[in-house]
Copies of this chain bind each other. A is one copy, B any other.
């Protein structure tokens, strides 16, 4: 398979850097093709602004309108077009980052903000019936996404009742609100905990974890998110009362028992 690996750590000689190298090596050894977007090494521009849309002439910048226009005209800035081309090529997208404030480092958020523009990653409709394709359907459907992260905390603090919030729920804006939104299938996130103090034994275990999870990414079961247009949500995009009756919270957006 074709793998796009997006890496967002400022230091090559870090735990993250070594996990990336090991993960890539495992994929290449297994015959997969890997392309790398090393955002710090690329000096990736993190901030959406008018320079992303060099042909945009309207005095007031409306990001969604300007980005869609530029996407359709092929006039997005070259760095954005390059990432979109890699994404279109990929079967699996790996996003690897150190968890900073329980979300992505700004440089990676800025990769999402700038690359996932209207028309390319969202804002498309089914030509047959005009439905907006979103949350389980869309332009990036058929691809898989895998988040690999390092966190300073220990694992129990990210468990179902841990103070940081259960990991997949804390990552809901990325896993569900971004990646699933575009139609991709989302694998359970892979986390290396206690990343500030890693013994040689911990390091070997982390390498083994990352190697095995990238190699099984083609077969592993994705998170069982409900799709927007599968019948589970009403016209206001609210979960129907007959499903997960009486419950609320982010967990209701998973199919139960999957």
Task: Report A's interface with B, CB cutoff 8 A.
Answer: 10-11, 13-14, 40, 46-50, 59-64, 98, 100-107, 109-110, 112-113, 116, 135, 152-154, 156-157, 159-166, 169-170, 172-174, 176-178, 181, 196, 226, 228, 233, 236-239, 244, 247-253
Contact = CB atoms under 8 A, between A and B. Distances in A.
A185 to B, nearest CB: 17
Given A170-B172, A172-B102, A172-B165, A160 B248 contact: yes
B160 A101 contact: no
A3 to B, nearest CB: 22
A228 B153 CA distance: 14
Report the 6 A-B pairs with minimum CB-CB distance, sorted nearest first: A106-B110, A102-B177, A160-B248, A102-B173, A156-B236, A161-B239
Contacts of A237: 153-154, 156-157, 162-164
B236 A154 contact: yes
Contacts of A13: 59-60
Interface centre among A157, A165, A181, A233 (most CB of B within 10 A): A165
Nearest to A114: B106
A223 to B, nearest CB: 14
B107 A46 contact: yes
A253 to B, nearest CB: 7
A253 B163 contact: yes
Nearest to A111: B106
